[in-house]
Structure formats: C-alpha cells, structure tokens
C-alpha cells in the first residue's frame, strides 16, 4: 500500500485482507488487482478482514481520468 494512495488515506493497512470490492468477492491478490483495474467509478467500497474482524472501508478517488480505469488500490 503506497503511503499517499487513496486506499492508505481511507485506512487500508499492510496485512489487511480484501474480501470484497464493490460487493464482488475477491478470490485472492491477483483477482483483487484484476477487479481494481476495471473500476471506473469515483468511490470504491472494500470489505476488509483486519485484526480479527470484518469491516468496510470507502476509498474515495479525487478524480476520474476521463473514464479510464483507476490506478490499483
């Protein structure tokens, strides 16, 4: 997780496990990258497992680049 990334700003931390991206189940790290590359909306909802519990994190991107896919989380 890059320090200044939208995911870091939203509270995602090293060691967190992303279970869902926008209510789509994630089957592993490669699948998470694949899903994140296809996202085109401004806000992304993550369901995350961290510290022995599940919770949601809303990642807000500051701008969308002309409808192009967002950078990886």
Segments in the chain forming alpha helices (H): 6-10, 29-37
- 27-47 confidence digits (pLDDT tens): 998 998 888 888 887 889 999
Determine phi and psi for 39, rounding to 5 degrees: -75, 135
Checking if the pLDDT of 63 tops 60, the result is no
Q: What is the mean pLDDT of the chain?
A: 84
Mean pLDDT of 56-66: 72
pTM reported for the whole predicted model: 0.74
Give the model's pLDDT for residue 8: 87
């Amino acid at each position: 997780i890059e320090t200044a990334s939208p995911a870091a700003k939203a509270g995602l931390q090293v060691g967190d496990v992303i279970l869902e991206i926008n209510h789509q189940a994630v089957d592993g790290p490669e699948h998470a990258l694949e899903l994140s590359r296809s996202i085109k909306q401004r806000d992304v909802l993550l369901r995350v497992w961290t510290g022995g519990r599940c919770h949601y994190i809303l990642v807000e991107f500051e701008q969308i680049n002309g409808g192009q896919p967002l950078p990886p989380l």
